[in-house]
Amino acid sequence: MKHVLESVESQFEMFQILNEDGKIVNKDDMPELSDDELKELMRRMVYTRVLDQRSIALNRQGRLGFYAPTAGQEASQLGSQFALEKDDFLLPGYRDVPQLIWQGLPLYQAFLFSRGHFHGNQMPEGVNAVSPQIIIGAQYVQTAGVALGIKKRGKKAVAVTYTGDGGTSQGDFYEGINFAGAYKAPAIFFVQNNYFAISVPVEKQTNAKTLAQKAVAAGIEGIQVDGMDVLAVYAVTKHARERAINGEGPMLIETLTYRYGPHTMAGDDPTRYRTDDLDNEWEKKDPLVRFRKFLEGKNLWSEEDESKVIEEAKEEIKKAIKQADEYPKQKVTDFISNMYEELPYNLQEQMEEYKEKESK
């Protein structure tokens, strides 16, 4: 039996296109992206890194509520989203706000989501997505259902979701991939393995050598990819999408990545469970540095280009937080009316009381 396990695990070697020096190591799987598309990918990663830095500062100032840092995971998040189409349906976890923004959620609404404002959870017309899931792994079950709905409607689209390494320990994770596999639903399941589920290292989450191999039990395709390599993540996502819309079923993608900051800004201290040596090791693999070197080698990126994006991001973030500040505050009547289409009798009287109070 040990021999069987080892033979299965050996099939899941990390897929990579760009190494840490920004050099192509896998020419055969290089995705077909124009120069403009390559530059747009870099622009989005730089913009998102600035957004993360500013969001952390805003959180510390008390101007944002819940926030999960994203620095280090830009290639995993944005490389995958860049491979999606407008009709695809996005079901993010709470660290996946960047994908929502690039899928079409206005930045000011992302800030309102952080503050717990209901408008931050209202997707604009034409944006196929739900608000970030707070319950660990629950989005996997929802994605299986959405994907089956897409299949039953005959749409050429996919449902895409994300969780972390800790999410693979949840029952919803297995239920979701198993259901989607059984019905060959067009779903793409991401596991962003940043090695620490809050403070629990991945080796204490599972005895499996990879998280990608968990796909085997559900009878679906699984792959492990360098999550610090934006081109590799894009290529794998593109492949998974094509398989799904062609009726070949879902795919589980494990991206090996790292979050530089705390799990969330709600009191987590990563210095208690991560060493400086480990942080330094992963910073050498930084997705922005790696892709920047690649683009500079093709004369597609410069310091001037990067500075322009940074200033653009700062200005747009400034405007978005101002817009969030000026948006009407939540009222108790908003919560009640958003919760119920038809008010139960015991709330009707309360609704009238709150309306009277709010009118004064």
- Per-residue pLDDT of 289-316, as tens digits, reads 999 999 999 999 999 999 999 999 999 9
Q: Which CA distances in Å does 299 have to 13, 19, 35?
A: 32, 18, 10
Q: Choosing from 49, 241, 243, 259, which is the catalytic residue?
A: 259
What is the model's pLDDT at position 4? 74
What is the model's pLDDT at position 335? 86
Annotation marks residue 54 as catalytic: no
What is the model's pLDDT at position 356? 86
Query: Measured between alpha carbons, how far is 159 from 145 in angstroms, rounded to an integer?
Result: 9
Annotation marks residue 239 as catalytic: no
Q: By the 8 A CB rule, do 191 and 224 touch?
A: no
Nearest residue to 220 via CA among 169, 191, 184: 184
Domain with CATH 3.40.50.970 in the chain: 2-329
Q: Which CA distances in Å does 2 have to 116, 215, 356?
A: 49, 19, 70
Average pLDDT for the chain: 95
Query: Measured between alpha carbons, how far is 331 from 211 in angstroms, rounded to an integer?
Result: 44
What is the model's pLDDT at position 215? 97
What is the model's pLDDT at position 152? 97
Q: Choosing from 49, 95, 243, 263, which is the catalytic residue?
A: 263
Q: By the 8 A CB rule, do 17 and 25 touch?
A: yes
Q: By the 8 A CB rule, do 78 and 44 touch?
A: yes
Instruction: Render pLDDT for 211-248 as a digit per residue (tens, 0 to 9).
Output: 999 999 999 999 999 999 999 999 999 999 999 999 99
- Asked if pLDDT for residue 7 goes beyond 80, the answer is no
What is the model's pLDDT at position 1? 53
What is the model's pLDDT at position 38? 98
Instruction: Render pLDDT for 95-141 as a digit per residue (tens, 0 to 9).
Output: 999 999 999 999 999 999 999 999 999 999 999 999 999 999 999 99
pTM score of the predicted model: 0.95
**Mean pLDDT computed over 257-286:** 94
Weakest mean pLDDT among 59-68, 268-277, 331-340: 331-340
**Mean pLDDT computed over 135-151:** 97
Furthest C-alpha separation in the chain: 74
Annotation marks residue 272 as catalytic: no
What is the model's pLDDT at position 146? 98
pLDDT-derived band at 210 (thresholds 50, 70, 90) equals: very high
- Asked if pLDDT for residue 2 goes beyond 70, the answer is no
Task: Please report, rounded to a whole number, the percentage of residues in the chain having pLDDT higher than 70.
Answer: 99
Query: Measured between alpha carbons, how far is 77 from 48 in angstroms, rounded to an integer?
Result: 10
Topology at the third CATH level for domain 2-329: Rossmann fold (3.40.50)
Instruction: Render pLDDT for 9-54 as a digit per residue (tens, 0 to 9).
Output: 888 999 999 999 999 999 999 999 999 999 999 999 999 999 999 9
Angle subtended at Cα 209 by Cα 143 and Cα 221, rounded to the nearest 5 degrees:
40
